[in-house]
Structure 1
Amino acid sequence: MSSLSTHVLDAVSGQPAASVRVVLERRTDDGWQPLGNGVTGADGRLRDLAPDGLDTGVHRLVFATGEYFAATGQTGFYPEVAVAFTVTEDRHHHVPLLLSPYAFSTYRGS
Structure 2
Amino acid sequence: MDQSGTTGTTLSTHVLDVSRGEGAANVEIELRAGGSSLGRARTDAGGRIAQLSEQPMSPGRYTVIVRLDGYFGSLPHLLTEVTLELDLSESRHYHVPLLIGPYLLSTYRGT
Does TM, normalized by the shorter one, top 0.5?
yes
Shift of 1:10: 0.4
In 1, are the aligned partners of 2:77 and 2:103 still within 8 Å (CA)?
Answer: yes
Residue 22 (str. 1) matches residue 29 (str. 2): yes
In 2, are the aligned partners of 1:9 and 1:98 still within 8 Å (CA)?
Answer: yes
SS at match of 1:81: strand
Per the normalisation by structure 1, the TM-score is 0.89
Pair 63,8 (structure 1): closer, same or farther in 2 beyond 3 Å = same
Shift of 1:25: 0.7
Structure 1 regions of 5+ residues with no counterpart? Answer: none
Runs of 4+ aligned residues of structure 1 deviating over 6 Å after TM superposition are none
Specify which of 1, 6, 9 is matched with residue 16 of structure 2: 9
1:68 aligned residue: 71
Q: What value does the CA root-mean-square deviation take over the aligned residues?
A: 1.1
Residue 108 (str. 1) matches residue 97 (str. 2): no
Alpha-carbon distance in structure 1 between the residues aligned to 2:54 and 2:95:
14
In 2, are the aligned partners of 1:3 and 1:51 still within 8 Å (CA)?
Answer: no
Structure 2 regions of 5+ residues with no counterpart? Answer: 1-7
In 1, are the aligned partners of 2:38 and 2:55 still within 8 Å (CA)?
Answer: no
Specify which of 35, 47, 51 is matched with residue 50 of structure 2: 47
Letter in 1 for 2:20: S
2:61 aligned residue: 58
* Equivalent residues, number: 104
Letter in 2 for 1:38: A
Name the structure where strand makes up a greater proportion of residues.
1
Letter in 1 for 2:93: H
